Amino acid sequence: RLSKNEWLSQETAEKAIEKLDAITPFIGFPDKLPEIYSRLKTTSGSLYEDALKFDEILTARTFEKFSEDVDKTSWHMPAHMVNAYYSPDSNTIVFPAAILQAPFYSLEQSS
């Protein structure tokens, strides 16, 4: 379609096709759980204390990321979130599993 449209110049159409070919899709859910989940264990018997410990671990992980290279394969939205988006900064498109379920999406849905 882009290569045959009449309102884009040939050069612009070629750049758009190049960008489309480079989109990184994040569909459904990650192939593996992030490593951080192996650190999150309920141990105290107190929901409040466990929540505090989880917050401490997650905050420490946030600071650890400052000294690491950017992981372009990591998901920035959980699979259970009903949403979808395109990120022009990273040229990624995200469709978490939740948005791919009824009532938002169904192969049997009427037009």
> Are 89 and 72 spatial neighbours (Cβ–Cβ below 8 Å)?
no
Q: What does the pLDDT profile of the chain (111 residues) look like in tens digits?
A: 887 888 989 899 899 999 999 999 999 999 998 888 999 999 878 999 999 999 999 999 999 999 999 998 999 899 999 999 999 999 999 999 999 998 888 888 777
- pTM of the entire predicted model: 0.74
> Measured between alpha carbons, how far is 26 from 87 in angstroms, rounded to an integer?
11
The residue extents of the domains of the chain are 23-100
Q: Is the dihedral of CA 82, 80, 100, 92 positive or negative?
A: positive
Q: Copy the structure tokens of residue 69.
A: 């290279």
> Measured between alpha carbons, how far is 35 from 37 in angstroms, rounded to an integer?
5
Element containing residue 80 per DSSP (H, E): none
> Measured between alpha carbons, how far is 81 from 99 in angstroms, rounded to an integer?
7
